[in-house]
Chain A
Amino acid sequence: MKEKSANITDRLPAAVSLLLIILLWWALSASNAIPNYMLPSPAAVVRAFIDDFSNLMYHARTSVLEALYGLLIGIGLAFFIATLMDRFLLIERALNPILIISQTIPTIAIAPLLVLWMGFGMAPKITLVVITTFFPISVGLLEGYKSVDPDCINLLRSMGAGRVQLFHHVKLPAALPHFFSGLRISASYAVVGAVISEWLGGFEGLGVYMTRVKKAYAFDRMFAVIILIVIISLLLMALVDLIRKLVIRWR
Chain B
Amino acid sequence: MEKPLLHTEHISKSYDGRTIIEDINIHLNKGELVSLLGLSGSGKTTLFQVISGLVRPDSGAVFLSDENVTEKPGKISYMLQKDLLLPHKKVIDNAALPLVIRGMSKKEARHKADPYFSEFGLNGTQYQYPAQLSGGMRQRAALLRTYLGSEGVALLDEPFSALDMITKGQMHTWYLEVMNRIDLSTLFITHDIDEALTLSDRIYIMTGTPGRIDHELKIETPRNARKDYSLTEEFLEYKRQIMKTLKQ
Contacts and interface: CB of A to CB of B under 8 A. Distances in A.
Interface stretch (B71-79, B170-178, B184-192, B225-233): B71-79
B38 interface: no
Contact of B97 (A149, A169, A173, A250): A169
Nearest to B90: A250
B163 interface: no
A225 to B, nearest CB: 42
B133 interface: no
A75 to B, nearest CB: 20
B97 A151 contact: no
Interface of A: 149, 151-152, 154-161, 165, 169-170, 173-174, 176, 248, 250-251
Interface of B: 49, 52-54, 73-74, 76-78, 80, 82, 84, 86-89, 97-98, 100-102, 129, 131, 149
Nearest to A165: B101
A251 B131 contact: yes
A40 B131 CA distance: 53
Contacts of A250: 87-89, 129, 131
Given A169-B86, A173-B86, A250-B129, A160 B78 contact: no
Nearest to A248: B88
A222 to B, nearest CB: 46
Contacts of A160: 73-74, 98, 101-102
Contacts of B74: 158-160
A165 B99 CA distance: 12
A23 B153 CA distance: 73
B101 A151 contact: no
A173 B82 CA distance: 19
B86 A170 contact: yes
A87 B34 CA distance: 39
A157 B74 CA distance: 8
Given A151-B80, A158-B53, 15 more contacts: A151-B84, A154-B54, A156-B101, A157-B54, A158-B52, A158-B74, A159-B73, A160-B73, A169-B100, A170-B86, A250-B87, A250-B89, A250-B129, A250-B131, A251-B87
A165 B103 CA distance: 10
Most chain A CB within 10 A, of B52, B74, B77, B86, is at B86
A155 B88 contact: no
